[in-house]
Amino acid sequence: MSVEETRILIDQAREGDDTAARRLIVLYHPRLRARLLRQMDAVMKSKIEPEDILQQVYLEAFRAISQFTYQGQDSFLRWMYAILDRKLIDEHRALRAERRDVRREVHSAPSGGHQTTYVDLLARVMAHSSTPSQVVRKDEALGVISACVATLPEHYREVIKMRFIEGRPVSDVAETLDRSIGSIHMICHRALKLLREQAEKLGVSRDD
């Protein structure tokens, strides 16, 4: 993508275009994830999935993007790096103080470097897509899913995270959020449908 095309996306995102904001997140996801993995130590990698930290980064960026000021070609990436670095500092402090959120603990580290629970969510989202895949690289597809999850309405995001990323039973999710089991099923259905629609707009769909 050219510098001018990226600048247009930034301007659109700052004006409230959610799809443009997601496209920006997808565009910078590989570099952000690579930076994150370089800075995560062994202890953090054993306890927290990289995508969990990236979700926090993307959510903050999505909420604050209207305040971003363009200052040259790499300014948006530097802005995203700054958010990521702050989140990493927070996580390191939380781990040292043993105050991390146990709901985000990885009980058994994935066997592959890029195999995370987000892979399962990606498969579920794409299971009923009706259009052929335009994205062949798994890391690109995961970037799309990460961007889409981060920009879901809060109650959708909470349910998706608990139910499909953490793998918690519907009854547990319902109890935690003080909702009925029926309402959790309904939110799951609507959230997955929305994720599928957003992902298809960004070029990820079912493989034929």
Closest CA to 152 of 164, 135, 170, 138: 164
pLDDT value at position 65? Answer: 92
Domains held by the chain: number: 1
pLDDT value at position 116? Answer: 46
* In the block, residue with structure tokens 């629970």: 117
Judge whether 182 lies within some domain: yes
Judge whether 16 lies within some domain: yes
Judge whether 208 lies within some domain: no
Judge whether 151 lies within some domain: yes
Judge whether 68 lies within some domain: yes
Judge whether 207 lies within some domain: no
pLDDT value at position 147? Answer: 84
pLDDT value at position 175? Answer: 93
pLDDT value at position 108? Answer: 43
Q: pLDDT digits over 8-53, tens only?
A: 999 999 998 888 988 888 889 989 999 999 998 888 888 888 888 9
Judge whether 135 lies within some domain: yes
Task: Reduce the DSSP state of residue 154 to 3 states and report it.
Answer: helix
Q: Walk along the chain (208 residues) in steps of 10 and give the mean pLDDT of each run.
A: 86 90 88 92 83 89 90 91 93 73 49 55 71 55 83 89 88 93 93 87 61
The residues pairing with 64 across neighbouring beta strands, listed in sequence order, are none
Supply the range of the domain harboring residue 80.
3-201
